[in-house]
């Protein structure tokens, strides 16, 4: 009950911001992008509810609320605010490091490596395919990598794989409809959260 309230409280910024921005959504927003965002919201609740100990669950709730808010902004405006992407990564790393030191679970070093691996992978994609990822996607991937890496190496690998599958599907649908650019934030979030939720069950 208590943690359900924490999850609901953490989701308030996402719901309020998404509702406000929906009124200004433009033609480049794809249905698949909103489906990915909706799936991300569901998976965030599941991932948080199955994360232990409670301090880690609270951290996941707050960080994932920031990640999904950034994805909502990306879905409507095609931009990922630094205060949300970078803020989520820094807060997640600091809080989860404290959890590891006090409860002996997770690994801050693995979290740091996870952020570097996922962020570095996305940065390489941004350099090699200039019409693909943006720097905002790199920052979002780094923050998600921190959560995935803290959980386990396997979660990191599965999270990267599922994110790439979601991104590929989103790009194929968008380009099939004549859109050369589309928001990838929702796909990053949905893929990574699917991995966390699936491995926590």
Output the pLDDT for position 132: 73
Return the pLDDT at 28: 46
Query: What is residue 195's predicted lDDT score, i.e. its pLDDT?
Result: 85
**Angle ∠(113,116,197) on CA atoms, nearest 5:** 70
What tens digit of pLDDT does each residue of 49-83 get? 667 788 888 888 888 888 888 888 888 788 899 99
The reported pLDDT for the residue numbered 76 is: 79
Question: What is the residue extent of each domain of the chain?
Answer: 2-200
The stretches in the chain having pLDDT less than 50 are 1-5, 8-9, 12, 19, 22-23, 25-28
Q: pTM for this structure?
A: 0.80
pLDDT, residue 74, reads 85
**Whole-number Å distance between alpha carbons of 170 and 33:** 7
């Amino acid at each position: 009950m208590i943690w359900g309230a924490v999850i609901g409280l953490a989701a308030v910024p996402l719901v309020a911001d998404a509702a406000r921005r929906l009124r200004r959504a433009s033609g480049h927003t794809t249905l698949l992008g909103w489906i990915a965002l909706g799936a991300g919201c569901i998976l965030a609740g599941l991932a948080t509810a199955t994360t232990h100990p409670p301090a880690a669950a609270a951290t996941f709730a707050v960080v994932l609320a920031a990640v999904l808010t950034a994805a909502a902004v990306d879905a409507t405006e095609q931009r990922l605010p630094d205060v949300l992407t970078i803020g989520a990564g820094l807060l997640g790393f600091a809080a989860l490091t404290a959890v590891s030191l006090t409860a002996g679970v997770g690994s801050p070093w693995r979290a740091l490596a996870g952020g570097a691996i996922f962020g570095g992978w996305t940065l390489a994609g941004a350099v090699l395919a200039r019409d693909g990822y943006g720097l905002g996607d790199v920052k979002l991937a780094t923050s998600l990598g921190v959560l995935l890496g803290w959980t386990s190496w396997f979660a990191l690998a599965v999270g990267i794989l599922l994110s790439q599958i979601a991104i590929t599907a989103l790009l194929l649908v968008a380009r099939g409809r004549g859109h050369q650019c589309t928001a990838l934030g929702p796909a990053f979030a949905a893929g990574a959260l699917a991995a966390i939720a699936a491995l926590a069950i």
